[in-house]
Structure 1
Amino acid sequence: MPTTDLASALADVRALLLDEQHLVRAVAAGRRRGVQPPEHERVEVRPVALRSGPHLQVLFRSGPVVSTRNVPAAEAAAVVDELLALPHGNWHVETAGETLQLRVTKKGDAQVHRAAREGTAPAGPQAHDRVKQRLVDPDDPVFRVLGAGGDKRRQVEAFVRQLAPLAPAVLEQAGPVVRAVDLGCGNAYLTFAAHRWLAREAGGREKELRTVGVDVREDVLENGRGAAREAGLAGLGFARGSIAGAEPFEEGERPDVVLALHACDTATDEALARAVRWGAPLVLAAPCCHRDVQRQIVAAGERGPVVRHAILRERFADVLTDALRALVLQLLGYRVEVVEFIDSAHTPRNAMLRAVRTGSAPRAEHLAEFDGLCREWGVQPALAAELAAELDAVRSALAGRPAGDREAGDREAQAAL
């Protein structure tokens, strides 16, 4: 794609942001190469109509923290100039008539893609009591094909809202073909939703999306293939196999996005381990039951009132398992958030691990926290067993000894228990 002067490209973005009659929304994300990263991971801009008149609403997102600023139209130009001066690497702007994608190159130039915008999304200042804008159209034919009711559609919308803040940066960094895999896809409601949303975002960047749902049941996969054909979803396929053993892509190809949604018990750990070994940039896992750690707590004997009663033990095992999973992922170069996936009225299994690969060095305090929890509760989580070699390398690095000194690593693991 040809490049253009960054200042001129940002001037075009500025004009769109200040066109309150036609602006729908805009998003700034990512970081520019060789500069200090922006304070906020993502900035979202849209016009709103308040009682006091038209405003420009700016949402600043840093992980799970969101802050909002409503700027009167008369002051919008100064605020837009401040936003454009931030070192974000990507701008996505939607107006009533077009979509503009701006990416800052390694050399500091701009690559700009403009395309006519389909649909009839409202433009201009929107009242705060308007119908909530949805990331997945509830009338999408995919839902009809899948036979999904209202509750399932709400889960799909909630899932995509967890995916949406993190995926754009991954899509920008991916090659011309973006790959996503759903390990243990089951009936594939969320596989379809992820593919629909990611395909739209990838297409706006002139990239191709390939999504593969993996499951052990051939009847489930065949239903998914038929639904994909009926819904006209190109690039969505299904592969039979276990989470630990399936090969969803050709040799040498690795996924950019790994999903594992409601994989039962240690199947979630198998999925996370595969994601780590693939070096997947983005991982979303919504665990199901956590029986493995719960059994180990019981086997370890009496440990106080927190786990004395079965229902408390079950709930605590959920928390402990996901806390240990998060620590393992952090030790292996991921930034991790554990967030609420959807309201518990829809499903009690509503926690989600969102992990973004940063490649950051392991921290001794995280290893100490992990070992301390394992020792205190007498458990060894399945994810640590799956990634024993990788964690041994972490221990070696933090201890300053050569990687692969398994004898010392084994002694430390035994001591932790």
Structure 2
Amino acid sequence: MRSVMLDPDQLVKAVASGKQRGTDPQWRRAELRYVDLKAGRQLQITTYDATQAFTANYKVGDSALVEALDELLDLPFANWVVTTATEETTVQAKTPHTALVSVVEKAQAAEQQASHDLPKERLLPESDPVFITLGLSGKDGKLKPSRASKYRQVEEFLRQLDTAIDDALAKKHLRVPTADEPLRIVDLGCGNGYLTFAAQRYLTSVKQLPVVVTGVDIKEQSRDHNASVARDLGVNAEFVVGTIDGVELPRNPDVVLALHACDTATDDALARAIDWEAPLVLAAPCCHHDISAQLRKAPTPSPYAMFTRHGILRERLADTLTDGIRASLLRISGYRVDVVQFVESQHTPRNTMLRAVRTGGPVKGGSVKKEYDDLVSTWALKPKLAELLGLA
């Protein structure tokens, strides 16, 4: 099928997945299709690891395209499915030297979709009542152009939440909810509740999970606005006024969300989640002023002066150090942590998310604690989260 995949007039889509017995391919899945861009027609290759997708485009006729395709074909995927306008060919590896090949002719020719902006499967469509009520979409159910970035942020958040909850339930880190004992989800620093309501809507209407969500924000205006939206939607959501570090809930939550809480407000949220022993935590940090200010004041350890000499590099280093330290402290506190890519908000270029699942009690000693101690000692840092956890 290599020649078919190299022919933009034949290929509709090709998908590689699975792994042959006893192998471990670099990618979990790969998808190929041709797209029409301003630079001309290109083969778009999207590869997936365990947490995120990577997309690269290769111009038709370029040797780099051939090299990229051959590299994929060399990987020990278990299955390849290659679709053209008239047939679908499946190649399934049976042994290292044999494969089962099946060809199914398509009764009706598929339209080759070469547009860059293909319709994407949405977890919640833009016409959903929650988006209309929140003002992201008009009464006609069409997304308002000025709210496209917020809609994209909500959509990507739901994908992360969906993956995290499925994984936590499958591995029994998160209890199975019932009508009498629904999942308790708290959104710390919820603002106008876009993510709060989207989470409630998706988990109850699409995934059919019993949940109750609570939004916490310091502003009374947010509570009043969100309570009104909840009444209009008729959903099971509560909103309280309070600070992240001071709010008291009647019962500890199962899932803690803290998306784009500014600077050390993210540390406050993580500290509360750890104190609650929340099974699942999703936090997308915003600005990182605290560590950045400490880097400006403290002497730079050798030989890293080249990173702090230039302002833009120092800021990026502060971002990395801050979230690396947070991930380490979560691990020390008994969580398995993944740092994954998350869409940026309309206010900040930061686009990482800390996804943490509680797997045990606090770690006593060990390599994780030593790595953390060595890091903060080398850079003379006093992280806010460590202070909140009594580890400073």
Report the TM-score when normalising by structure 2: 0.65
In the other structure, the counterpart of 2:10 is none
Q: Deviations over 1:280-310 (max 9, x none)?
A: 1111101111111112222213552211233
**In structure 2, C-alpha distance between the alignment counterparts of 1:71 and 1:312, rounded to whole Å:** 42
Q: Aligned partner of 1:368: which letter?
A: K
**Residue 312 of structure 1: CA displacement?**
2.2
In the other structure, the counterpart of 1:351 is 352
Q: Aligned partner of 1:312: which letter?
A: L
Against the structure 1 CA distance between its residues 300 and 127, is the aligned structure 2 distance closer, same or farther, given a 3 Å change threshold? farther
**In structure 1, C-alpha distance between the alignment counterparts of 2:389 and 2:347, rounded to whole Å:** 33
In the other structure, the counterpart of 1:33 is none
**Residue 385 of structure 1: CA displacement?**
0.7
Residue 270 (str. 1) matches residue 275 (str. 2) = no
Bigger CA drift: 309-318 or 274-283?
309-318
CA contact (8 A) 2:230 2:237 kept: yes
**In structure 2, C-alpha distance between the alignment counterparts of 1:63 and 1:154, rounded to whole Å:** 18
**Residue 76 of structure 1: CA displacement?**
10
**In structure 1, C-alpha distance between the alignment counterparts of 2:177 and 2:159, rounded to whole Å:** 24
SS in 1 for 2:356: strand
Against the structure 1 CA distance between its residues 134 and 193, is the aligned structure 2 distance closer, same or farther, given a 3 Å change threshold? same
Against the structure 1 CA distance between its residues 218 and 65, is the aligned structure 2 distance closer, same or farther, given a 3 Å change threshold? same
SS in 2 for 1:131: coil
Against the structure 1 CA distance between its residues 345 and 260, is the aligned structure 2 distance closer, same or farther, given a 3 Å change threshold? closer
Against the structure 1 CA distance between its residues 328 and 199, is the aligned structure 2 distance closer, same or farther, given a 3 Å change threshold? same
Correspondence for 2:149 among 145, 148, 151: 151
Correspondence for 2:229 among 215, 227, 230: 227
Within-5 A mapping of 1:13-412: 62-64=50-52, 70=79, 129=113, 131-148=119-136, 149-170=147-168, 173-176=175-178, 177-200=182-205, 204-205=208-209, 208-232=210-234, 234-247=235-248, 249-250=249-250, 253-303=251-301, 304-342=305-343, 347-359=348-360, 362=363, 364-388=366-390, 391=391
CA contact (8 A) 2:150 2:346 kept: no
**In structure 2, C-alpha distance between the alignment counterparts of 1:60 and 1:182, rounded to whole Å:** 29
**In structure 2, C-alpha distance between the alignment counterparts of 1:289 and 1:347, rounded to whole Å:** 7
CA contact (8 A) 1:170 1:256 kept: no
SS in 2 for 1:161: helix
SS in 2 for 1:315: helix
In the other structure, the counterpart of 1:85 is none
Q: Deviations over 1:337-362 (max 9, x none)?
A: 11111158884021111111111773
**In structure 1, C-alpha distance between the alignment counterparts of 2:252 and 2:77, rounded to whole Å:** 37
In the other structure, the counterpart of 2:16 is none
**Residue 311 of structure 1: CA displacement?**
2.5
Q: Aligned partner of 1:215: which letter?
A: D
**Residue 366 of structure 1: CA displacement?**
1.5
Against the structure 1 CA distance between its residues 61 and 201, is the aligned structure 2 distance closer, same or farther, given a 3 Å change threshold? farther
CA contact (8 A) 1:258 1:284 kept: yes
**Residue 170 of structure 1: CA displacement?**
3.9
**In structure 2, C-alpha distance between the alignment counterparts of 1:132 and 1:226, rounded to whole Å:** 31
**In structure 2, C-alpha distance between the alignment counterparts of 1:76 and 1:343, rounded to whole Å:** 39
Q: Aligned partner of 1:308: which letter?
A: R
For structure 1, which runs of at least 5 residues remain unmatched after alignment?
Answer: 1-38, 52-58, 80-125, 392-412
Against the structure 1 CA distance between its residues 61 and 69, is the aligned structure 2 distance closer, same or farther, given a 3 Å change threshold? farther
In the other structure, the counterpart of 1:29 is none
CA contact (8 A) 1:60 1:68 kept: no
Q: Aligned partner of 2:212: which letter?
A: R
**Residue 231 of structure 1: CA displacement?**
2.6
For structure 2, which runs of at least 5 residues remain unmatched after alignment?
Answer: 1-23, 35-46, 55-75, 82-87, 95-109, 137-146
Q: Aligned partner of 1:293: which letter?
A: I
Against the structure 1 CA distance between its residues 344 and 218, is the aligned structure 2 distance closer, same or farther, given a 3 Å change threshold? closer
CA contact (8 A) 1:174 1:256 kept: no
Q: Aligned partner of 1:192: which letter?
A: F
**In structure 1, C-alpha distance between the alignment counterparts of 2:326 and 2:112, rounded to whole Å:** 39
Q: Aligned partner of 1:190: which letter?
A: L
Against the structure 1 CA distance between its residues 320 and 280, is the aligned structure 2 distance closer, same or farther, given a 3 Å change threshold? same
Q: Deviations over 1:62-100 (max 9, x none)?
A: 445899864569979999xxxxxxxxxxxxxxxxxxxxx
Sequence identity of aligned pairs in percent?
45
**In structure 2, C-alpha distance between the alignment counterparts of 1:376 and 1:330, rounded to whole Å:** 20
SS in 1 for 2:127: coil
Against the structure 1 CA distance between its residues 343 and 297, is the aligned structure 2 distance closer, same or farther, given a 3 Å change threshold? closer
**In structure 1, C-alpha distance between the alignment counterparts of 2:322 and 2:328, rounded to whole Å:** 10
Q: Aligned partner of 1:265: which letter?
A: D
**In structure 2, C-alpha distance between the alignment counterparts of 1:359 and 1:75, rounded to whole Å:** 43
Against the structure 1 CA distance between its residues 289 and 309, is the aligned structure 2 distance closer, same or farther, given a 3 Å change threshold? same
- Equivalent pairs counted in the alignment come to 288
SS in 2 for 1:372: helix
Q: Aligned partner of 2:242: which letter?
A: G
Report the TM-score when normalising by structure 1: 0.61
CA contact (8 A) 1:141 1:231 kept: yes
Against the structure 1 CA distance between its residues 263 and 128, is the aligned structure 2 distance closer, same or farther, given a 3 Å change threshold? farther
